[in-house]
Chains A and B, each alone.
Chain A
Amino acid sequence: MQAYIIRRLLALIPTLFVASLIVFVSMRLIPGDVIDQMLAQNDVATSADRALVEEALGLDQPMYIQYFRWVGGIMRGDLGNSLWHNTPVTAQLAETLPITFQLGLLALVVALTVAVPIGIYSAMRQDTAGDYIARSFSLLMLSIPSFWLGTLVMVFPSVWWRWSPPLEYTPFFQDPIQNLSHMLLPAVLLGLALSAVTMRMTRTMMLEVMRQDYIRTARAKGLAENLVIARHALRNGLIPVITLIGLQAPLLIGGAVILEQIFVVPGMGLLLLEAVFARDYPVISGIFLVTGVAILMINLLVDLTYGFLDPKVRY
């Protein structure tokens, strides 16, 4: 098992190398670079000014030099400084990453508590009204973009009841209740979007598993149906669902970018959005790097979870 984890961690390196290259180059190919934006703040800007700023930020060097400087920095744990604020990217990430992590975790909890029970219910009551309602709900959640739902949640309560969700961020360890009252709504919206596919997967897998011979064996033993499901069906059915959750990790992060903007959560998503608008290359690259590592780690975690759920999988 340890050897397996080390092997997997080593395999991260080439993946991240390719990912970093793509991110680094593609950011610089977007029209309108950071210098234009900076100079646009002055009334008059000459080409001499431009050269000055470029040199100061190290952007006068050829792209491959910039890349190797950046990679060299990563080796030393330095992701560079923000081009606008001159603060280290690592400091910005340290501040925002835990917030997004909390949002993601909450969303995952919401997604699972909604998706798994409804999925099981839907499978057990296949083709009944309850099943159709559950399936329609999941289809609805799948189709509604979270930015739209987020906007509705912001606008309508304020029109109808003169109430709007709290938008002031409080760190969790400072005041958990205050923190949750702010974070819960975006987490629910994000979680519902995630729950749609998970619920359908749970339903399909439960239907599949309930047809298996060992379920008939369990019934022939005299087990009541709820024990048949809980002890014999669930674990078999959930193995692919766990994989699915791993695959949805990018969706979680993508959704966080939008919902953090709407609900003013000062997380990594909001930072990314601002950085993209400002063409703040080091910040963007840093976030992508961290995101990449996070997604790969989540998938590693999923594979390790397999070992616990499926006795045939041993590392």
Chain B
Amino acid sequence: MSEAIAASGAPALLRVENLSVRFRTDRGMVRAVDGVSLHVHAGETLAIVGESGSGKSVTALSLLRLIGDNGEIEQGRILFDGVDLGRLSGAEMRKVRGNRIAMIFQEPMSSLNPVLTIGKQVAEPLVLHQGLSWQAARKRAVELLARVSIPDPVDRLDSYPHHFSGGMRQRVMIAMALACDPKLIIADEPTTALDVTVQAQILALLKALTRETGAAQILITHDLGVVARYADRVAVMYGGRVIESASARELYANPKHPYTQGLMASVPSLDSDPGRPLQTIPGQPPDLANLPPGCAFAPRCAYARDLCRQGKPPLESIGPQHERACYGYE
């Protein structure tokens, strides 16, 4: 699907160019995102994959400029529908948030306000962005809750988050995100906190709804199984940088970065020999406050050469729709 969209030559809905984000911490400045470039087309699902601390969540939050007071976008452009989000005023940015770009978070248990009713929370973006009255917005909220398959939506409007299970709360979050028909939905590990059976339901729901509305989706996850089933394209992040990006199919068939290869090899599959120990990537994930000067993966890489330890490899095209940041090991 992504190939078709890319081939059509339409400009990307979101194009991130050379984005760097840093945070002031007790241990000095930490660059959590370092020169990340991404793009998402309308109707496409881009998965950003990486382990904790790879910069994937910070990348997502910085798209909405929600990285908090101690964080700062150091450089780079975030072009959404032709507008550089980095140049918008605070008030203009607020018109984008929840309206044209919506976000779903990892923790459904704590992401909803415990003292406000579900109806009020789902209706809120409609009142804010579309100028509906609370009454009209409540009616729309019923439709939205029905769309995310919440039973008895009319009765549930006046319920509070603690009356809902984790999966149901995540459905409410999705309803809230869909309220204003956003062009882009960013889902930051939307199923990590949920039971496995519920995970599949939520992801299928997200997929179906984005397909229905034509919205693009950025799906942030560390679960490669999720990526294979729900993403069109994948960007793999490591140490704050994108180290490989390709269509989901291509990445699975043909991973080119040693880290991606390691990740693929460490996923257990049903037909692997049950007696064989699971493959792991040796070493520890990098400390962002203390990155090596060269490739962040070099200390754990079996193929690392002197060149890898001296400079950061740039992200280069190595095939149609396939990019890799590696000096090569072939």
* Chain A residues at the B interface, C-beta cutoff of 8 Å: 212-214, 216-224, 231-232, 235-236, 309-312
Contacts and interface: CB of A to CB of B under 8 A. Distances in A.
A12 B128 CA distance: 48
Given A217-B105, A311-B160, A222 B111 contact: no
A221 B102 CA distance: 7
A222 B180 CA distance: 11
B125 A213 contact: no
A213 B114 contact: no
A217 B111 contact: yes
A292 B124 CA distance: 45
B124 A221 contact: yes
A223 B129 CA distance: 9
B128 A223 contact: yes
B194 to A, nearest CB: 15
12 contacts: A213-B105, A214-B113, A216-B105, A217-B111, A217-B112, A220-B103, A222-B95, A223-B94, A224-B94, A311-B114, A311-B115, A312-B160
A222 B176 CA distance: 12
B162 A213 contact: no
B221 interface: no
Interface string B171-203: 001001000000000000000000000000000
Contacts of A223: 94, 98, 124, 128
B115 A236 contact: yes
A306 to B, nearest CB: 11
Contacts of B125: 221-222
Interface of B: 64, 66, 91, 94-99, 102-103, 105, 107, 110-117, 124-125, 128-129, 160, 162, 173, 176
Contacts of A312: 114, 160, 162
A217 B102 CA distance: 10
Contacts of A220: 64, 66, 97-98, 102-103, 105
A214 B112 contact: yes
Contact of A214 (B111, B117, B160): B111
A66 B17 CA distance: 88
A222 B162 contact: no
A235 to B, nearest CB: 5
Contacts of B116: 231-232
B128 A212 contact: no
B97 A221 contact: yes
A99 to B, nearest CB: 37
A236 B113 contact: yes
A236 B64 CA distance: 25
Nearest to A215: B113
B320 to A, nearest CB: 35
B114 A214 contact: yes
Nearest to B101: A220
Given A221-B97, A222-B97, A224-B94, A216 B66 contact: yes
B110 A219 contact: no
Contacts of A216: 66, 105, 111
A213 B110 contact: yes
A221 B110 contact: no
A223 B97 CA distance: 8
Contact of B114 (A218, A219, A222, A236): A236
Contacts of B115: 235-236, 309-311
A216 B110 CA distance: 10
A84 B205 CA distance: 81
B96 A218 contact: no
A309 B102 CA distance: 29
A232 B113 contact: yes
A77 B221 CA distance: 71
A262 B31 CA distance: 61
B28 to A, nearest CB: 18
Contact of A221 (B91, B107, B176): B176
Nearest to A311: B160
A297 to B, nearest CB: 25
A280 B162 CA distance: 55
Nearest to A221: B98
Contacts of A311: 114-115, 117, 160, 162
A221 B128 contact: yes
Nearest to B113: A214
